[in-house]
Amino acid sequence: MSHPLSFTRQEFAGAFGDLGTDLPLLVGVVLATGMDAPAAFVAFGLLQIASGVVYRLPMPVQPLKAMAAIAIAGKIAPTLLAAGGLIVGVVMLILANTGALAWLARTVPKPVVRGIQVGLGLQLLTLALTRFLPGHGTAGWLLAAAALTLIVLLRRHHTLPAGLVVLALGLVFAAVTWPASLPGPWAFHLPTFPTRWPTSEEFGRAALLLALPQIALSLGNSVLATRQVVTDFFPAREPLTVRRIGTTYGLMNLLAAPLGGLPVCHGSGGIAGHYAFGARTGGSAVIYGVALVLAGLLLVGDPATFQRLVPRPILGALLLVEALTVLWLVRDQWRTPRAFILALGCGVTAAYAPYGYALALVGGTVIGITMRRRLETPTSA
């Protein structure tokens, strides 16, 4: 059955529901690595459009979080980052098309998948509360409070979507606060695509430095948790297979590197963010992708200046809503106390332990398998 794309106000508002996650990582990686900003934004936007058209759902394309964090912290070369993305893309294609992902989906208990989502929600919540909501002092807190109040008041308002109002509020704040530092007249910036392929030495370094830390997070969040959250929010749609998710994940990374883009993935938190602000079809991903392409071509000659268009407290408000939407999904484990405890334990481990997602995925699965029968026995109401 074909599902049409919609381009309503709700889809437009929902299109920017994951901006609090994407924009800081996208701009942060560009500034830290020196990669071409227009190319990074255009590639990221084109992949969003493709994802919306292929899935007909608000299926997000997000920067690979572990790789992005390492790239920002280490200020690595763009070719090394490209090598990491190519490695992860090939690995995911192999896992998806050999049946390994399908076996993993059958093996990992649902409380562990929920735990991976809890871990992501806790990380997003921590990021919102510590890095974004406190931005700009007292004025920033007031702006964040106003944004969150508007989100609550307009959450069911179909003619005035909360996401659009909050973004407009951010633009007004930026115009009043930094009128001289906002982007000047629009100028057309052609992307500069990479001219050098990673060397064998860079592929070796990228495998250890970037690919290994990313794969566990991707298996848990980008594949298993993404499939689960699509089932949660779109139960009437035909079920997505992990093979399909893994295949598009792999192909996106094989396309991103030649285009000069960041390594990318799908993600359960992104779907939750888009859905929370009204997105219900792939039209939201197309709208978001077009906006990113236009930003790359017209606005991001100076990515640091561009980021000021969306103040940090606004990003924090969007991120907070996304975090709470992801965390709320664990409620279906509440009636089975052991399953709920396992989900919370996996979530805390994933969020805060070294190599947390790998530990949560492997350790939680072992625990879940050994006590599977007790996990499936709910308490009486």
* Structural contact between residues 254 and 50, judged by C-beta atoms closer than 8 angstroms: no
Q: Please count the residues of the chain.
A: 381
pLDDT, residue 234, reads 93
380 inside domain: no
Other C-beta atoms within 10 Å of 256: how many? 26
User: How many Cα atoms are found within 13 Å in the side-chain-facing hemisphere of 297?
Assistant: 10
DSSP 51-100: HHHHHSS----EE-HHHHHHHHHHT--HHHHHHHHHHHHHHHHHHHHTTH
pLDDT, residue 230, reads 93
Distance, in Å, from the CA atom of 219 to the CA atom of 231, rounded to the nearest integer, reads 17
Alpha helices (H) along the chain: 9-15, 19-33, 37-55, 65-74, 78-97, 100-107, 110-127, 137-153, 162-177, 200-206, 212-217, 226-233, 242-259, 268-276, 283-298, 303-307, 312-328, 337-352, 356-370, 372-375
Domain extent at residue 154: 9-176+199-373
> Residue 139 burial (CB < 10 Å; 0-12/13-18/19+)?
middle
Of 108 and 263, the structure prediction assigns the larger pLDDT to: 263
Distance, in Å, from the CA atom of 303 to the CA atom of 299, rounded to the nearest integer, reads 8
Number of domains making up the chain: 1
192 inside domain: no
Q: What is the pLDDT of residues 24-60, one digit of tens each?
A: 888 888 888 889 989 999 999 999 999 999 999 999 8
Under the banding of pLDDT at 50, 70 and 90, the label for residue 182 is low
- Residue 279 tokens read as 């997105």
379 inside domain: no
Of 255, 254, 253, the C-alpha closest to 263 is 253
Distance, in Å, from the CA atom of 96 to the CA atom of 319, rounded to the nearest integer, reads 30
- Residue 48 tokens read as 């969003």
Please report, as a single letter, which amino acid is at residue 329.
Answer: L
pLDDT, residue 2, reads 67
Q: Are strands 264-265 and 62-63 parallel, antiparallel or unpaired?
A: antiparallel
* Structural contact between residues 318 and 143, judged by C-beta atoms closer than 8 angstroms: no
Sign of CA dihedral 172, 174, 178, 181: negative
Q: Which of 89-98, 169-178, 191-200 has the highest mean pLDDT?
A: 89-98
182 inside domain: no
- 63 pLDDT above the threshold of 80: yes
Q: What is the pLDDT of residues 100-150, one digit of tens each?
A: 989 988 888 888 888 888 887 888 788 788 878 887 888 889 998 998 998
Under the banding of pLDDT at 50, 70 and 90, the label for residue 179 is low
pLDDT, residue 185, reads 47
Other C-beta atoms within 10 Å of 63: how many? 26
Other C-beta atoms within 10 Å of 172: how many? 12
Q: What is the pLDDT of residues 342-380, one digit of tens each?
A: 999 999 998 888 778 778 888 988 998 887 766 555 554
Q: How far is CA 40 from CA 202, 264, 367, in A?
A: 20, 11, 41
* Structural contact between residues 248 and 51, judged by C-beta atoms closer than 8 angstroms: yes
- 381 pLDDT above the threshold of 50: no
* Structural contact between residues 5 and 53, judged by C-beta atoms closer than 8 angstroms: yes
95 inside domain: yes
* Structural contact between residues 89 and 252, judged by C-beta atoms closer than 8 angstroms: yes
Of 102, 82, 106, 105, the C-alpha closest to 94 is 102
pLDDT, residue 378, reads 57
378 inside domain: no
194 inside domain: no
Q: What is the pLDDT of residues 206-254, one digit of tens each?
A: 988 888 778 877 887 789 889 989 999 999 888 899 999 999 999 999 9
**Rounded (10°) CA dihedral 157, 159, 162, 168:** -150
256 inside domain: yes
